[in-house]
Structure 1
């Protein structure tokens, strides 16, 4: 299958973070869930958004003092379907099917804290 951008192991980790999340994620939360540095994650988010696999929005309102506004990302219908296919193709299973993937602790925290980091 041909893709609009290069699929690296970091890209797969980012896709898994979105597939395992019940909603939108801000960039730092994606980096934490994927266990990747933000310097790797933000270019992947940009490529996925440019390809139409992600959409984003800026945080509404004013954040707490001393914190910049966050940009939230979410998979489009096309992106969700394509990400499922790619992850299944490359890793053989989806993140929710994994018994003990590296995303588990981070995603448990995200659920506990309502997805906000």
Structure 2
């Protein structure tokens, strides 16, 4: 699980009932579209995210947006993935030993 995927999951879990669109997720996470969209596709393949397209007639003057929402499976699995990533990060930080001049060994 990459840090970018964890960031996307965190954003989706912030408001699990909301539908998010790609550009909004890019802005909220700071992740470029070329990285974000493959993550969303992968999460959708896992069943953690579902998506739907806007009705193009409802929004004259702009292209339709694809909206993403976390699923029930995604709620549980996403929370577990975030917890595992946090634990992994804590273990890695705890394994660093002070080196010469306060650096890490």
| TM-score using structure 1 length | 0.68
- Unpaired stretches in structure 2, ≥5 consecutive residues: 88-105
Cα RMSD, aligned residues only: 1.3
Aligned residue number for residue 6 of structure 2: 12
Write the distance in 2 (CA, Å) between the matches of 1:14 and 1:44.
8
1:24: Cα distance to partner? 1.1
More helix by share: 2
Correspondence for 2:84 among 89, 97, 100? 89
Write the distance in 1 (CA, Å) between the matches of 2:13 and 2:66.
18
Runs (4+) off by over 3 Å: none
State the SS of the aligned residue for 1:88. Answer: helix
Question: Highest CA radius of gyration, 1 or 2?
Answer: 2
- Where relative contact order (Cα < 8 A, 6+ residues apart) is larger, the structure is 1
Aligned residue number for residue 62 of structure 1: 58
State the SS of the aligned residue for 1:68. Answer: coil
1:14: Cα distance to partner? 0.5
Deviations 1:34-78, CA, capped at 9 Å, x for gaps: 11101100000000001111110011343241x210000001100
1:31: Cα distance to partner? 1.2
Written as runs of structure 1 = structure 2, the 5 A alignment for 1:2-81 is: 7-21=1-15, 22-60=17-55, 61-65=57-61, 67-81=62-76
